[in-house]
Amino acid sequence: MGGAGVTGTFVGMPTFPVAARRALGDAQLRHNLGQATATIRAKRQRLVEEVDAAVPTSAADPQGLGGWEALRRAGAAVKEAALRSLPEHLERLEAELVANGATVHWARDAAEACSVVAAVARAHGVREVVKVKSMVTQEIGLNEALEAEGVAAWETDLAELIVQLDEDLPSHILVPAIHRNRAEVREIFLRRMKEVGRAAPDGLGDEPAALAAAARSHLREKFLSARMAVSGANFAVAETGTLVVVESEGNGRMCLTLPEVLVSVVGIEKVVPTWEQLDPMLRLLPRSSTGERMNPYTSTWSGTAAGDGPGEVHVVLLDNGRTRALADEVGRQALRCIRCSACLNVCPVYERTGGHAYGSVYPGPIGAILNPLLNGVGHDDQVDSLPYASTLCGACFEVCPVRIDIPSVLVDQRAQVVDAHRGRRRSGEAVVMRLAAATLADEGRLGFAERFTGVGLRAARRGAGWPGLRRWTGARDLPRPPRESFRAWWRRTGGGTR
């Protein structure tokens, strides 16, 4: 599994606390994120309440869970069942795709997947491809791999375009440019569009309609000239060999229908066995991601169709750490994820640090578990820092449309991080934790230690103490020392009876 790993793009990122510290100091970022996440949160919440109101306790919901909770359970059950019999469904998917005229490739890791896409580009002699917004091609670092082959990959999703033009990194799953406001977007368009294609019009304003029009005319040129497209897929329906892409802009459909050649990279966890099982997923996803009842465009294709759309269709089924995640008893539920980003929008940590601090294309609570699951822990401090990038407040679990218990996975992965470091040089933390465990192991030792609480606190409040103490006292006073511990009070007074 040496080649597995989440994207070359973010390699060398600092650990979460270091990156977060930098992000927290960026006032514009804080403002942009606060506005954007609050807006999406409110939209989602209204739709959840609408679903609950539409389905009062009834035959459709015998347990009285409420419409939304019943829908979440249905979505989780679909993905869970699909994952339990993954090989069977993947083989069916492959057979149907091949029968429909598609070519299926299996890729163990990012390098294998990228080389498949590059080989197709080479075979057709294309120098540029247009891309449908996809997380998985970011995960495998496809754009960089194609660039190394002399092939330019153009992002066509508006937010991805902004990020690409600015040579920036995505900071959100659904809205990769969430960290930018419209004034910043205007500046990026004016500066960069002319260098890579049709220039932004002179006198471009920062109204959303004007920015969208500039992007539209820039992208039209790409759509009409590109002979090859690359996509991911939101779902893959095994029974008919159908890939599904949901989107808002219609740019994805341009890519899926106009070029002659289409290559789709699909994580193996995207499979759902039947169309019927797709139903709850298509109701959960738009409500959880964009806060809409239904996304504007849902494109489906099953291999090739004569005279309609790309005449050559490839599907790359990608592992890249997914079988490792599947083998993780607690963490495997993360493979249910449908990349909606509801957990990002509701996360108080993400709202303040933004996505870059997570050092991966998968930021936020889901990224904090997905990256360690796909990469393994114990060999990269950045990855090892991610399970700790949470207060375990549980807001993510509450909104997750497929009920991924992210806090429980985080705790399990913290244990995996600690276990991976057992037997190595002891960190200060490990020493403190073992000392705490020894002190807390019996009442005698704890009672003894508590006699020094007052002395310790008084010394610390005067400014003494170990350097790490400033992490607390930098912004917070220490509590005033009590006269005695509760235990001492109980012994002395018989629980206040004498």
Kindly tell me which residue out of 26, 411, 460, 465 binds another protein, with binding defined by CB under 8 A. Answer: 411
Distance in Å, CB of 356 to another protein, minimum: 14
Q: Is residue 42 a contact point for another protein (CB under 8 A)?
A: no
- Residue 462 makes CB contacts below 8 A (sequence gap 6+) with none
Helix (H, G, I), strand (E, B) or coil at 188: helix
Provide the minimum distance between the beta carbon of 178 and another protein in the complex, in angstroms, as a whole number: 18
Judged by CB under 8 A, does residue 136 bind another protein?
Answer: no
Q: Print the binding letters for residues 207-246 with another protein: x by CB under 8 A, - otherwise.
A: ----------------------------------------
Distance between first and last Cα of the chain = 67
**Could you give the CA distance from residue 233 to residue 279 in angstroms, rounded to a whole number?**
16
How many residues form the binding site for another protein (CB under 8 A)?
64
Toward another protein, which CB reaches closer, 440 or 464? 440
Contact predicate 130/223, CB 8 Å: yes
Neighbours of 255 (CB within 10 A): 29
Rounded Cα distance, 493 and 498, in Å: 5
Site for another protein in 302-361 (CB under 8 A): 348-349, 352-353
Beta-carbon neighbour count of residue 328 at 10 Å?
19
Q: Do the beta carbons of residue 324 and residue 403 sit within 8 Å? A: no
- How far lies 413's CA from each of 17, 94, 187, in Å? 17, 33, 41
Residue 106 near another protein by CB under 8 A: no
Q: Which helix (H) or strand (E) holds 318?
A: strand 312-318
By CB under 8 A, is residue 433 in contact with another protein?
yes
Quick one: which of 148, 294, 392, 464 contacts another protein (CB under 8 A)?
A: 392
Query: Residue 198, CB half-sphere, CA atoms under 13 Å: how many?
Result: 14
In the bound state with another protein, the residue whose beta carbon lies nearer, of 257 and 485, is 485
446 binds another protein (CB under 8 A): yes
Quick check: 414 binds another protein (CB under 8 A)? yes
Distances, alpha carbon 175 to alpha carbons 48, 179, 196, 247, 398, in Å: 21, 9, 22, 12, 21
Stretch binding another protein (CB under 8 A), from 47-55, 75-83, 297-305, 471-479: 471-479
H/E element, 439: helix 428-440
Q: Which of 437, 462, 466, 467 is in the footprint of another protein by CB under 8 A? A: 437
Q: Is 489 in the site for another protein (CB under 8 A)?
A: yes
Of positions 443, 455, 458, 459, contacts another protein by CB under 8 A: 443
Work out whether 17 is an interface residue with another protein (CB under 8 A). Answer: yes
Report d(CA 375, CA 246) in Å as an integer: 28
Q: Which stretch binds another protein (CB under 8 A): 58-66, 101-109, 264-272, 436-444?
A: 436-444
Under the binding rule (CB under 8 A), the answer on residue 2 touching another protein is: no
Q: Left if phi > 0, otherwise alpha if psi is -120 to 50, otherwise beta: which for 391?
A: alpha
Minimum distance of another protein from residue 46's CB (angstroms) = 17
Residue type, 287: R
Q: Which of 123, 224, 305, 490 binds another protein (CB under 8 A)?
A: 490
Cα 451 to Cα 54, 254, 434, 437, 485: the distances in Å are 59, 72, 20, 18, 8
**379 is a contact residue toward another protein (CB under 8 A):** no
The correct pick among 337, 395, 402, 409 for binding another protein (CB under 8 A) is: 395
For 368, the 3-state DSSP assignment is: helix
Q: Are 105 and 123 in contact (CB under 8 A)?
A: no
Q: Using CB under 8 A, pick the residue from 99, 123, 440, 464 that binds another protein.
A: 440
- Name which position in 42, 391, 448, 492 contacts another protein (CB under 8 A): 391
Of these, 390, 400, 401, 402, which contacts another protein (CB under 8 A)?
390
Return d(Cα 226, Cα 241) in angstroms, integer.
26
Site for another protein, rule CB under 8 A: 16-17, 20-21, 24, 348-349, 352-353, 387-395, 397-398, 408, 411-419, 429-430, 433-434, 436-437, 440-443, 446, 450, 453, 457, 468, 471-472, 474-480, 482, 484-487, 489-491, 495-496
